[in-house]
């Protein structure tokens, strides 16, 4: 009955699956090739060992603005763009070395996600099966995820070896609208089996989580080798308020409490290296493995209400997603123009982890290639970094019959701007 509802509380604009390619303008300006290079307060959300590069107290504040372009086409008459939106992704981080010690402490707040998708005037697949009061409805998904990252880092006296550990404390919220004005019920007959769909909207589902990030950096002259590991994050969304449209059976709109399980953030392992080619130029390469197959495999969606009447008290459904693990390759360079100016560029590639068979119109996390560029300026105790990131257009077709009976195609691209300001008192 609510088979189309299961995965709605997710957002569609993403980069490497649901992960951003980097955090902060320095990281993103180099295509996310940052494991061996990061040496500022944002390191706690990249490679915590890099926090050891903060030889004095440092505060970093940043803002990224993400703009996605999503296009949907199918045989039900849809050929439309999602509503244009901008999603702000803030960060704030602080780090300081402990007096007379090899240890550095820090804490940060990072927007891990902040994407979304809204289709208005979407012609529903049910309009081809039966007369409806309205053939078009809305389809949207929404996820925000923020982390607090207390961090401890250590460096050897010769600064060749750096180690770090950060605790990732997460908070997520999910909302969705899945054809909320649509309600259809066709009883079984000699010509067809029973058909029913009751539109749903849900908001305020919340999840709390914890994960651990470990990292190292080791230098041999002009060459640096680095690695980082992030543990998996289990997220159990609770407290959601849902409304189901039962108008087709004369029961009106009914409220439910909503829960969502099986939608998690994956464990991730990355290795990277950098090489100082000359006093002005350095290059970086990262390879990351993201374990999506364990994080997003099967979603369990539940609605329940205390009142017993003509509509179900409990609705449960399992829905297969079966995402694939993802290998991400990031290449970056930084060129020192002068003592104050730095120029950056990068490329990032990760094959879409979403199998075509399970692609959803309101969650096409299918971006694969990214081009980036950045600029840095330092003056005294201040440093300003800017970057832009372009996820190249990528299309993927599907025959997921839940949404479009004869197949559909999703295309997405994305443009993100980044600003990061550092201050060392």
Q: Domain spans of the chain?
A: 25-423
Cα separation, 127 vs 135, whole angstroms: 5
pLDDT of residue 192: 61
pLDDT of residue 360: 84
Q: Which residue matches tokens 């996390």? A: 365
CATH of domain 25-423: 2.40.160.60
User: Beta-carbon neighbour count of residue 271 at 10 Å?
Assistant: 15
Which run of H or of E encompasses 175?
strand 161-186
110-147 confidence digits (pLDDT tens): 987 656 788 988 888 887 777 777 888 888 888 788 99
Compute CA distances 1 → 4, 261, 311, whole Å: 8, 19, 11
pLDDT of residue 12: 40
Question: How would you classify residue 12: left for phi > 0, otherwise alpha for psi between -120 and 50, otherwise beta?
Answer: alpha
Cα separation, 16 vs 127, whole angstroms: 35
Cα separation, 44 vs 41, whole angstroms: 7
pLDDT of residue 163: 98
242-296 confidence digits (pLDDT tens): 999 999 889 989 999 999 888 889 999 999 999 999 999 999 999 999 999 999 9
Cα separation, 23 vs 46, whole angstroms: 7
All residue ranges of the chain with pLDDT < 70 are 1-14, 113-115, 188-194, 401-405
Question: Do residues 94 and 112 touch, judged by C-beta distance below 8 A?
Answer: no
Backbone dihedral angles phi then psi of residue 310, each to the nearest 5 degrees = -75, -10
- Tokens representing residue 93 in the block: 């981080």
Please spell the DSSP secondary structure of 292-348, one letter per residue.
HHHHEEEEEEEEE-S--SSS-SEEEEEEE--PPPEEEEEEEEEEE-SSSEEEEEEEE
Write the DSSP symbol of residue 190: S
pLDDT of residue 403: 65
Rounded to two decimals, the pTM is 0.90
């Amino acid at each position: 009955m609510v088979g189309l509802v299961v995965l709605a509380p997710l957002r569609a604009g993403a980069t490497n699956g649901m992960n951003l390619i980097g955090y902060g303008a320095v990281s993103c300006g180099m295509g996310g090739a940052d494991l061996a290079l990061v040496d500022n307060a944002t390191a706690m959300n990249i490679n915590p060992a890099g926090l050891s590069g903060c030889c004095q107290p440092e505060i970093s504040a940043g803002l990224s603005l993400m703009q996605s372009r999503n296009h949907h086409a199918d045989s039900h008459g849809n050929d439309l763009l999602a509503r244009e939106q901008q999603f702000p992704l803030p960060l704030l981080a602080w780090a300081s070395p402990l007096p007379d010690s090899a240890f550095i402490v820090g804490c940060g707040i990072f927007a891990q996600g902040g994407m979304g998708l809204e289709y208005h005037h979407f012609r529903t697949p049910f309009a081809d099966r039966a007369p409806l009061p309205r053939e078009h409805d809305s389809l949207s998904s929404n996820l925000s995820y923020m982390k607090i990252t207390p961090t401890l880092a250590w460096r050897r006296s010769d600064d060749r070896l750096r180690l770090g550990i950060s605790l990732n404390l997460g908070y997520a919220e999910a909302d969705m609208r899945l054809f909320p004005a649509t309600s259809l019920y066709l009883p079984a007959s000699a010509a067809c089996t029973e058909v029913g769909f009751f539109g749903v909207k849900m908001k305020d589902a919340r999840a709390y989580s914890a994960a651990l990030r470990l990292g190292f950096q080791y230098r041999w002259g002009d060459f640096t080798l680095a690695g980082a590991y992030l543990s998996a994050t289990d997220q159990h969304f609770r407290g959601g308020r849902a409304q189901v449209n039962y108008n087709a059976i004369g029961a009106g709109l009914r409220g439910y409490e909503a829960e969502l399980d099986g939608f998690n953030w994956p464990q991730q392992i990355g290795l990277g290296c950098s090489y100082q080619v000359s006093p002005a130029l350095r290059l970086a390469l990262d390879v990351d493995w993201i374990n999506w197959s364990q994080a997003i495999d099967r979603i369990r969606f539940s609605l329940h209400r205390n009142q017993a009447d003509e509509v179900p008290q409990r609705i449960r459904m399992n829905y297969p997603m079966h995402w694939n693990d993802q290998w991400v390759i990031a290449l970056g360079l930084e060129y020192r123009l002068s003592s104050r100016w730095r120029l950056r560029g990068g490329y990032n590639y990760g094959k879409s982890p979403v199998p075509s068979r399970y692609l959803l119109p309101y969650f096409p996390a299918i971006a694969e290639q990214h081009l980036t560029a950045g600029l840095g300026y330092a003056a005294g105790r201040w440093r300003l970094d800017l970057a832009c990131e372009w996820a190249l257009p990528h299309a993927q077709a599907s025959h997921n019959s839940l949404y479009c009976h004869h197949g559909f195609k999703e295309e997405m691209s994305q443009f993100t701007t980044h600003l990061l300001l550092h201050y060392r008192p």
